[in-house]
Amino acid sequence: MIFLDQNIAAVVLVALTVLVQCAGMTALIEWTKAQFPNGIHRLGLVRSFLLVLRFTSLLVCLQMAEILLWAGFYRGRLLATWEAAFYFSAANYSTVGAADILLRPTWRLIGPAESVTGVLMCGLSAGFLFALVTRLIALEDPSLAEPSPPAVEQAAAQSGQE
C-alpha cells in the first residue's frame, strides 16, 4: 500500500510542478506581450541586459517555488523541520543529492522523481532564456543569427566538390 501512496504522491507532485512551471512561463510571455505590444525591437545594450536579468531572476524564483512545493510535502509527511525539508528538496531538485538527510526506506523513491522533474524544469527554463537571448541577438544584429549567403553558398559548393 505504501508503494501506491508513494507513486500517487510522486504523480501529483510532478503534475503540480509542471503546472507551476507552465503557469510561470506563460505569465512571463504575457508580461512580455503587454510590455512590448508591437513586439520586441532593438532595445539596446542596457534594456536587453535588464530584460534578460528580469527573466533570469523570475525563472530562479519559479524554481524556488517548485522546490518549496516539494519541501512542503516532505515537511508535512516525512521530515521534522522546514530547514531539513527545503535542504532535502533543493538538493534533490538540483540533482546534487543530500547524503546527510535520508527519507524512511519506504519513501526513498520519491527523491529521484523530484530529481528528474527538476532537471526537466531547469531545462525548460534554460530553453526559455536561450530563446529570449537568441531573439535579442537577431534583433540587434541579424547577421549573427543567420549565416550570411556567401557562407551558405561556399558550404554548398564545398559539399558539391566532395
| Short-list 22, 30, 53, CA closest to 124 | 22
Domain that holds residue 53: 2-161
* H-only helix segments in the chain: 2-35, 45-77, 82-93, 110-140, 142-145, 149-161
Would you say the pTM of this structure is higher than 0.75?
A: yes
Q: What is the pLDDT of residues 141-156, one digit of tens each?
A: 766 666 656 655 666 6
Burial 5-28 (b: 16+ CB within 10 A, else e): ebeebbeebbeebeebbeebbeeb
| Short-list 57, 69, 42, CA closest to 138 | 42
State residue 42's pLDDT score. 67
Chain position carrying cell 519541501: 71
Domain count, the chain: 1
Q: What average pLDDT is seen over the chain? A: 86
pLDDT value at 63 more than 80: yes
End-to-end Cα separation, the chain, in angstroms: 64
Q: What is the pLDDT of residues 23-53, one digit of tens each?
A: 999 999 998 888 877 766 667 778 888 888 9
pLDDT value at 98 more than 90: no
CA distances from 129 to 58, 59, 92 (A): 11, 9, 23
